[in-house]
A and B are shown apart, each in its own frame.
Chain A
């Protein structure tokens, strides 16, 4: 063998599928238990008074109180951080509280965020109506309007927030370019990667600085537990400007600690925990953390099946006489088809939107007659889910907001599950049949 073909030494750190089963946990430190124990406790015994003081002063790592940290929740945090390629993570009791804590760690009254306009309906409400009550204003930019993100940045802007694939219109935000815009302005890019999971996309590799997830969805997969998380990439330099004084200047709530100086690549998470979690208190229950860990063990195998089923369903819907249009990044004439291929090489996700011929009435009839697909307000379950946003998740929005969010009355949102593909198609046939003659089919 010639020297030319000799490969240099390779890092043997564990790979994705292995990390999803092992990261964050060492059995020999936990009575040899192979499975992660559930530490269903609120408090932790201090060795002595010095130990207690050391924990409160952040002199040592360790647990004080389960609102702030818990060993079971800690395994989940490390596991997700490892899968995302991040330095640290903080789990929360829902995806919404992960977003809220992220915003609270970056901003205070008088600050501003630039936000992609195509977001989960709950997130739109948070940014559009609730945060302004606490003095934090947002400018919305359409996800494809890359230049628009730049133009919307003001002096007091503390970050850009977006989902990679907007909900429910499936429009992509050009993450690498938007990241560059954010970094040129000295602010971080926050990406809600709930719909991708790190199996499909690791936003840190494309310039994101903070990733948030609703773990309730694909990450857990089972639809049994609410959970959220914020993950830090560790690459953002908080000290490059004076935009983030609570991160870089001595913080009066913690003995004059400067998070950026002391914790560098984990400063954001440390602050979110030491301040946001301590004071606002949306902590994840250890039982739910354990349930989510169970789900993550099968993340790779599930995501493969979600994506292959989704591609089958796209083909099926494209050729169906009752379907007016199909929106999914894998559709050849989808405007973001090429960008999706680049950013989502392992699959384009399992969220499909389609228009049903016959408009709103047909949509209602379809939803009310499918039997296998569940009609509910969630996505990313292992089971196939359908909803008609105009009458469901987005019904709190006024007409203007509805339009702004890219919705139409004939749109059905489909979260493709991992059932046998034939059974999903057969169920849809029943729905379409009913939709073609809505008046003849009872709503029950």
Chain B
């Protein structure tokens, strides 16, 4: 659906079900340069099982209007504006990669609004490889190729997509090329590189938190993810073998199973 946030027309997938204000809200925040489509194998389940779902396209990304936000802090405030814009007082947040930085910062800033936090391939900081950052800022398609290489584990490199007929690396690559690389990936990578407040923000988080990490994740390695999780009181960690950073697609069923159990327990539907 489309709606206005801070004057920009924003798109969010509602998971194939009409948006219903009477149901608890889950917001999904995508990674650098990507779109709502990375969440297709998680959102539809929740939408069909008692939740209202918003898988967002960040400003300037995917089908959303506006310009890409330049810092993680701005994106965190923007998520808060989204919750207000759809008329909710609270929400559950799910982030992937850069989306983890955004949701951690958002939770730290708006502790009363955020009820659970789920981090997929998250870390306290995501310093960028300077060459990759330069390629992205120059709009070089090679940045996307490199990101797809590094972001995928064996499933991405060999295949075995959970949806029959889809091929991981090329699908991911096309998502990252939906808009101008320089204006999406370039801006996002710089925002990740600049963000230093992750560990401090994590210390402030007191809500139920889940981290899903993957053994072959080169972008946010398990060690880094654990370092972050250790700072969040009582947080749960789930580690997936033989899987890379694009766990939402590479091991979609496993991610959904863990996420389902975590959210339905800690943020149940009314029935």
Rounded to whole angstroms, the CA-CA distance of A55 and B63 in the bound complex is: 26
**B interface SS class:** helix
- Beyond A54-B45, A63-B164, A87-B166, is A13–B157 a contact (Cβ under 8 Å)? yes
Q: Mark B45-66, 1 if CB is under 8 A from A, else 0.
A: 1001000000000000011000
Q: Mark B127-157, 1 if CB is under 8 A from A, else 0.
A: 0010110010000001001101100101101
Q: Are A74 and B171 interface neighbours, CB within 8 A? A: no
Q: Mark B168-187, 1 if CB is under 8 A from A, else 0.
A: 01110011011000000000
Q: Are B166 and A269 interface neighbours, CB within 8 A? A: yes
Question: Is B197 among interface residues, defined by CB-CB distance under 8 A?
Answer: no
List of A residues within 8 angstroms of B240 by Cβ = none
Question: Is B261 among interface residues, defined by CB-CB distance under 8 A?
Answer: no
Q: Are B174 and A78 interface neighbours, CB within 8 A? A: no
Interface extent on A, as a size class?
35 or more
**CB contact between B177 and one of A8, A60, A86, A235 (< 8 Å): that residue:** A235
Q: Are B166 and A78 interface neighbours, CB within 8 A? A: yes
Rounded to whole angstroms, the CA-CA distance of A73 and B175 in the bound complex is: 25
Q: Are B165 and A74 interface neighbours, CB within 8 A? A: yes
Of residues 245 through 295 on chain A, the ones whose CB sits less than 8 Å from some CB of chain B are 255-257, 261-266, 269-270, 273
Rounded to whole angstroms, the CA-CA distance of A348 and B75 in the bound complex is: 52
- Beyond A11-B149, A57-B48, A261-B13, is A23–B167 a contact (Cβ under 8 Å)? yes
Between A10, A82, A239, the greatest number of chain B beta carbons within 10 A of the residue's beta carbon is seen for A82
Rounded to whole angstroms, the CA-CA distance of A58 and B165 in the bound complex is: 14
Question: Is B160 among interface residues, defined by CB-CB distance under 8 A?
Answer: yes
Distance from B86 Cβ to chain A, minimum over Cβ atoms (Å) = 18
**Beta-carbon nearest neighbor of B18 in chain A:** A256
List of A residues within 8 angstroms of B161 by Cβ = 61, 78
Q: Are A234 and B170 interface neighbours, CB within 8 A? A: yes
Of residues 16 through 33 on chain A, the ones whose CB sits less than 8 Å from some CB of chain B are 22-26, 28-29
Question: Is B3 among interface residues, defined by CB-CB distance under 8 A?
Answer: no
**CB contact between B167 and one of A9, A68, A89, A255 (< 8 Å): that residue:** A89
Q: Are B16 and A264 interface neighbours, CB within 8 A? A: no
Q: Are A265 and B63 interface neighbours, CB within 8 A? A: no
- Beyond A59-B44, A81-B165, A262-B37, is A255–B16 a contact (Cβ under 8 Å)? yes
Question: Is A153 among interface residues, defined by CB-CB distance under 8 A?
Answer: no
Between A75, A257, A266, the greatest number of chain B beta carbons within 10 A of the residue's beta carbon is seen for A266
List of B residues within 8 angstroms of A234 by Cβ = 170-171, 174
Question: Is A85 among interface residues, defined by CB-CB distance under 8 A?
Answer: yes
Between B16, B131, B135, B145, the greatest number of chain A beta carbons within 10 A of the residue's beta carbon is seen for B16
List of A residues within 8 angstroms of B169 by Cβ = 13, 82
List of A residues within 8 angstroms of B239 by Cβ = none
Rounded to whole angstroms, the CA-CA distance of A233 and B178 in the bound complex is: 13
Q: Are A81 and B242 interface neighbours, CB within 8 A? A: no
Question: Is B256 among interface residues, defined by CB-CB distance under 8 A?
Answer: yes
**Beta-carbon nearest neighbor of B171 in chain A:** A87
Question: Is B159 among interface residues, defined by CB-CB distance under 8 A?
Answer: yes
Q: Given A61-B252, A264-B175, 18 more contacts at CB 8 Å?
A: A11-B149, A13-B169, A23-B159, A23-B167, A24-B159, A60-B41, A60-B252, A63-B164, A74-B164, A75-B159, A78-B159, A78-B165, A82-B159, A87-B171, A88-B167, A255-B16, A266-B166, A266-B171
Between A and B, 13 residue pairs with Cβ closer than 8 Å are A8-B131, A9-B146, A57-B48, A59-B45, A60-B41, A77-B165, A78-B161, A85-B170, A87-B166, A88-B171, A91-B165, A233-B174, A263-B37
